[in-house]
Structure 1
């Protein structure tokens, strides 16, 4: 791999190729890879790490989504997330996305795309990972409108290692030059890995938020204060804000189109002067 040539392309805005992506995933220098992805992430979002108070609704069948969209909107859903492998009847995925977007009621948007690869006990296939990223990049070129991509790798003892997860985020950030945001799911990757992902290309944390400090946002509230214990995949708002600050970023709550709903104070400057890539 010609690291200098890849750095030149990334810093000049030149699009990386399939071969570049495979070479990046084969790179053993996670510090270099994460640092390069962090450059791109900082160019997009500075010191901000976004979060949304409500999880997006996952879409696995476009025709079904058209039928269910009014109900979802009535239930307060504001954002839909398309998954890799979504079923499309009688059309290309790009055509199906256009039809769904045209049918959505006001206040509901298809803005996220979940990249699903690997699984319990299954090794990560670098070529499959890169090709899925390139399919999303092509879909975004054709349709536009996706604000955020969400790499979903199962980590832990039965899945990808933490280093593999962070490498996947870094490669995604470098290849997806037309998708402005990259989100880490704390319920899937654990809170610590999600924090590290913010230093390897991600600029958003996603997952279920619980608590009573709801402001103008729609969240799921548990009155007895034991929400985090009842749902291991949830964080309280304060825990989420603390996790973002501890990673060195300034939390910003967003709407479905990545407009700022509420900006929060950033990390204590005495603890960290500015976000820096973390090492694993």
Structure 2
């Protein structure tokens, strides 16, 4: 990108003017990572100052049995496979109650598209979990799962969402988005939920007062233009509803263990530099969403810290056993981070930690970085 084009984009960003498709593609074409990071950090600081958000959450997957066979997925199992499982509701409640002493404020629930579980299993699960953990927000189900519930129940998403909200649902999850462009989607997605239904379901959720996350799975067979298109679709929907709380770029994980379910297992993962570029461009393009999250599980801790200087202002949470990634990932990302671990990670990156709830309301502000720590070399986490 020549100096004139850089100045043109800088001027638009600083004037608060919206970047367009050609701007997004030009940003991805730039090899000046420091410039991209500085410009994205300027926007991040304008929106969120020196704050970096996190929450104390846990993940629960009720079943890994799935009727779909997505090319990127190592999590799904078919009925009868040795390691396929489906939790009884009482088992899910027991596991959730074991999480309570860690002080969680959110339980994140996603599952496979089970071919024989009845629809009523899902609202009943939420009701029982909410009784067991009344002060914990239930963030559950992708738009793909809601679409599946329509198929197995004969109900519409409007009625399904009403019943789930009545059972305790506070937010959908952002999964199932992957890449919306059909050219790419038909190569990687093994279910029937595409942009039209994904956007329909999130639009409906927003109309009912839910704030939801939005995501993008990058670093597989797509190109930068597909990432730009993906973000612009979400930006347009956000113009309409204002219901997205956060955007989360998710780095594709190849399967280092060689699981044949992951048909992209030989696809190289995006480099750290490509990840940082993706965060920066996302922050610059997606101008009407308040937060950009780096899901540290999919990026590693060092890249996550760097991402905070490339547009990201949220590190997700304590997580614990995120099977959907760890069933593929073998490069050493930890299973869990405690509250204290996250505070240290954020402070050592130079930011002030802020604990939040599912709707991004502040639970607690913490002290910022300790300058004294900079006087002594600190170990680098993987």
Establish whether TM, by shorter chain, passes 0.5: yes
In the alignment, the residues of structure 2 paired with residue 103 and residue 6 of structure 1 have an alpha-carbon distance, to the nearest angstrom, of 37
How far residue 42 of structure 1 moved from its aligned partner, in angstroms, is 0.4
How far residue 73 of structure 1 moved from its aligned partner, in angstroms, is 7.5
Taking a change above 3 Å as real, the CA distance of residues 238 and 87 of structure 1, as seen in their structure-2 partners, is farther
TM-score in terms of structure 1 length: 0.77
* Cα pair 1:183 1:206 within 8 Å, conserved: yes
Taking a change above 3 Å as real, the CA distance of residues 202 and 243 of structure 1, as seen in their structure-2 partners, is same
1:110 aligns with 2:191: no
- The SS at the match of 1:151 is strand
- The SS at the match of 1:202 is coil
How far residue 145 of structure 1 moved from its aligned partner, in angstroms, is 1.3
How far residue 209 of structure 1 moved from its aligned partner, in angstroms, is 4.1
Higher strand share: 1
May I ask how many residue pairs the two structures share in their alignment?
244
Which has the greater radius of gyration?
2
Aligned ranges 1:131-142 → 2 under 5 Å: 131-142=229-240
1:57 aligns with 2:140: yes
Q: Which runs of 5+ in 2 are unaligned?
A: 58-107, 109-138, 151-156, 181-190, 257-267, 321-332, 375-382
**Aligned counterpart for 1:125 among listed residues 220, 223, 226:** 223
* Cα pair 2:217 2:250 within 8 Å, conserved: yes
Taking a change above 3 Å as real, the CA distance of residues 99 and 165 of structure 1, as seen in their structure-2 partners, is same
- 1:100 paired residue number: 205
In the alignment, the residues of structure 2 paired with residue 57 and residue 248 of structure 1 have an alpha-carbon distance, to the nearest angstrom, of 32
CA RMSD of aligned residues (A): 2.8
In the alignment, the residues of structure 1 paired with residue 166 and residue 345 of structure 2 have an alpha-carbon distance, to the nearest angstrom, of 30
In the alignment, the residues of structure 2 paired with residue 239 and residue 58 of structure 1 have an alpha-carbon distance, to the nearest angstrom, of 28
- The SS at the match of 1:179 is coil
Taking a change above 3 Å as real, the CA distance of residues 207 and 77 of structure 1, as seen in their structure-2 partners, is farther
Aligned ranges 1:10-25 → 2 under 5 Å: 10-25=13-28
- The SS at the match of 1:3 is helix
- Of 258-267 and 163-172, deviating more is 258-267
* Cα pair 1:81 1:114 within 8 Å, conserved: no
- 2:271 paired residue number: 161
Aligned ranges 1:89-238 → 2 under 5 Å: 93-102=198-207, 109-119=210-220, 122=221, 125-154=223-252, 158-209=268-319, 232-238=334-340
In the alignment, the residues of structure 2 paired with residue 173 and residue 250 of structure 1 have an alpha-carbon distance, to the nearest angstrom, of 19
